[in-house]
Structure 1
């Protein structure tokens, strides 16, 4: 009787994790595109985007099903320009902030030419405080201004210092090299925060290149900033990415990155802020590798199967835990070597998936039968998408658990045989 009692006790505890499912985990799981995400502690679309904190800008909480090729107007969100600078009022001035005469940032290399003023001319690097230092002149602040306005500032400084008459000063400023910059990215991205883009290798700035006027860089764009923030999430409102500069904001449509349509590559300057609104629902067509989504991601796996004593013998290596973006649960389970083996003893295995919902910030845990997962892999509810840093744990079948329980009892009672 003691043997049977201990056996039943061990077998009943072997699957105790299945007795405590997470509350409504299946209905609100982030990797399931079937159901819209119901936010509970996040900001709505009418909240002020200037409010500091962890608020997420929402466009809608409606389902995004049926939007694989385009976005519907039901998810439209509109913000008025932020009037942080009273001197900027006209629409033309707003457009110039984003499209014309790109303002200078710290670290830019500029060539300054002054007619009949060779002693002041030369190549200069914009200082961290935003100024350029010409000989015999006080620092001249040029950050946030285009090259035309910077030339006016330098000309005014030469006139005020008494070196030129107003009618005789002629200054030109040309950019030789665009510097790396830092911009803020927030909203529906995997890693919001301050990101550094256009961080080129110093060897790429060669003397031969500096001899030619002008510079081209493809690493100071909105696409590069989103990539530096680990890419957009599947709930991103991709057709209305918001860029805020000097109190003005502009909405850009980046959906062409995934659909093949043309996309305006807007150049960024230091201090720009990028906000990616969220639709509040999981969009399946955004879950694939691209320029603005992750190419791959890390998943934490555990497969302590019998008789293996670690992840290494179980076939869980660093290569199997680094998966391409768009991987579903079944693919990860196969990668973790949780599928196959003796059908009688291994078919009834289970897998537990733990994932953090990036919108609500809550951890969600779901459990799936591997045998049922193989048969219903086409169902989104059974076979959800995996997200970066998800955790997967495989559990052996009940037959294997009972066998190990019997083996454990044998190890316990074996010494007693020697006493009789």
Structure 2
């Protein structure tokens, strides 16, 4: 009589092999094991020495080429003034003026798109409002085009007066021209160097209907966004390695250095009005300066971080609460705050506490992508150590990994799911 073993006996060897594979997979290290994640020097961590970087041109006296970060560790730090000690405020903290500054001495220059009103005494046929065209000219009746871009209103008045005299429309004694700026247009300037998004930026962008009738009827216009700080902010703000006390503004061959540390410390600072064609350069120190990592007028207000938290305590990113506001973090956020925002912290003490968080960040100085891994418990217990809890930068990626106990629990659950149908055979 032949004997046929039950079907379950045939399945058992395959089942044992499957369980062995699952256990081995559960004991295996996760996929980022081959990546060097333990480097102490990480962008977002203040270090004693700076990073080598390539200048836009050969370093000169205008660019910092030393990599000793100790001289920059207090740059941009907030100042404290004591009432029991004299305030030693010196003239170097005074604002630049047209008397001592080559850029401001040129006056407020006109740019393409600016709206001006021309008033000529006894010149009804010429009076009116004119827009400086793309080529930088205004076109008046009879006398034709007059170059206006890059000129002050005083120079434009003189040019129009000379054109009227040369056309024999007015006598030299009677030619009197007055020009009022009714609206400063949006302008393009270039920003290079230690900013997050260098390139050409458009500043002084105005929404339609922002001016009321009183402004339209009044002569003159004042812009709060056609300024140096706005150009830097539009380029996503300065990086933490910026040489903040040596920002360079280039206009028509003239060049000035501007100390903008007052934007962070509360000291006086000259926020230059810009004109079309200006060039702004923010040199890099090569050093991370923690005092520059906070929201300000020339740093990012906030940025986006990409997060993932696919763990058992939260089955997906939606239930983990990782939405728009969780991933939009204020500038100056550290890895611990991002881990809390991603719901990586907390839960069952014995089973979920030994989690890990992985941070991937691109070093904007060297262009290298760096990856580090930190224990969530280490972040919670030693958040004051910069090498454990670094700063986050725009577009960083943060991922959470579960504890080993949770991994084994998942393997056990998978084994039960496999054995249960077999038992019912």
Aligned partners of 2:238 and 2:28: how far apart in 1?
41
Aligned partners of 2:43 and 2:49: how far apart in 1?
9
Aligned partners of 1:65 and 1:341: how far apart in 2?
44
Match of 1:2 among 17, 23, 33: 17
Deviation for aligned residue 1:237: 0.7
Q: Which residue of 2 aligns with 1:89?
A: none
Aligned partners of 1:45 and 1:135: how far apart in 2?
47
Q: Which residue of 1 aligns with 2:55?
A: 43
Q: Is the 8 A contact 1:301 1:336 kept in 2?
A: yes
Task: Give the alignment's TM-score, normalised by structure 1.
Answer: 0.85
Match of 1:337 among 343, 359, 366: 343
After superposition, what is the alpha-carbon deviation per residue over 1:332-375, rounded to whole angstroms, capped at 9, x for unaligned?
11111111111111121100000111111111110001112212
SS class of match (1:15): coil
Deviation for aligned residue 1:44: 7.2
- Determine if the alignment matches structure 1 residue 284 to structure 2 residue 290: yes
SS class of match (2:39): helix
Aligned partners of 1:401 and 1:163: how far apart in 2?
91
Aligned length: 390
- Determine if the alignment matches structure 1 residue 305 to structure 2 residue 311: yes
After superposition, what is the alpha-carbon deviation per residue over 1:294-341, rounded to whole angstroms, capped at 9, x for unaligned?
122111110001153310112222221111111110111111111111
Q: Is the 8 A contact 2:351 2:403 kept in 1?
A: yes
Aligned partners of 2:384 and 2:187: how far apart in 1?
45
Q: Is the 8 A contact 1:45 1:60 kept in 2?
A: no
- Structure 1 stretch displaced more, 245-254 or 148-157: 148-157
Match of 1:107 among 95, 105, 113: 113
Unaligned runs of 5+ in 2: 1-15, 78-97
Aligned partners of 2:99 and 2:305: how far apart in 1?
47
- Determine if the alignment matches structure 1 residue 134 to structure 2 residue 147: no
Q: Which residue of 1 aligns with 2:231?
A: 225
Match of 1:21 among 22, 25, 35: 35
SS class of match (1:243): strand
After superposition, what is the alpha-carbon deviation per residue over 1:5-47, rounded to whole angstroms, capped at 9, x for unaligned?
3133212335232x21237x6243111113544235x227734
Higher-Rg member (1/2)? 2
Q: Is the 8 A contact 1:104 1:143 kept in 2?
A: yes
Unaligned runs of 5+ in 1: 50-56, 72-91
- Structure 1 stretch displaced more, 167-176 or 360-369: 167-176
Distance 1:65 1:26, change over 3 A: farther
SS class of match (1:163): coil
Deviation for aligned residue 1:203: 1.6
Aligned partners of 1:318 and 1:194: how far apart in 2?
28
- Structure 1 stretch displaced more, 380-389 or 200-209: 200-209
Q: Is the 8 A contact 1:34 1:65 kept in 2?
A: no
Deviation for aligned residue 1:125: 1.5
SS class of match (2:111): coil
Deviation for aligned residue 1:58: 5.2
SS class of match (2:326): coil
Q: Is the 8 A contact 1:244 1:273 kept in 2?
A: yes
Aligned partners of 2:232 and 2:76: how far apart in 1?
20
Q: Which residue of 2 aligns with 1:85?
A: none
Deviation for aligned residue 1:414: 4.2
Q: Which residue of 1 aligns with 2:414?
A: 408
Aligned partners of 2:309 and 2:73: how far apart in 1?
37
Distance 1:382 1:114, change over 3 A: same
Q: Which residue of 2 aligns with 1:78?
A: none
Task: Give the alignment's TM-score, normalised by structure 2.
Answer: 0.85
- Determine if the alignment matches structure 1 residue 193 to structure 2 residue 193: no
Distance 1:32 1:45, change over 3 A: farther
Q: Which residue of 2 aligns with 1:322?
A: 328
Aligned partners of 1:10 and 1:410: how far apart in 2?
17
Aligned partners of 1:406 and 1:65: how far apart in 2?
57
Q: Is the 8 A contact 1:64 1:282 kept in 2?
A: no
Aligned partners of 1:59 and 1:105: how far apart in 2?
35
- RMSD of aligned C-alpha atoms? 2.6
Q: Is the 8 A contact 2:76 2:264 kept in 1?
A: no
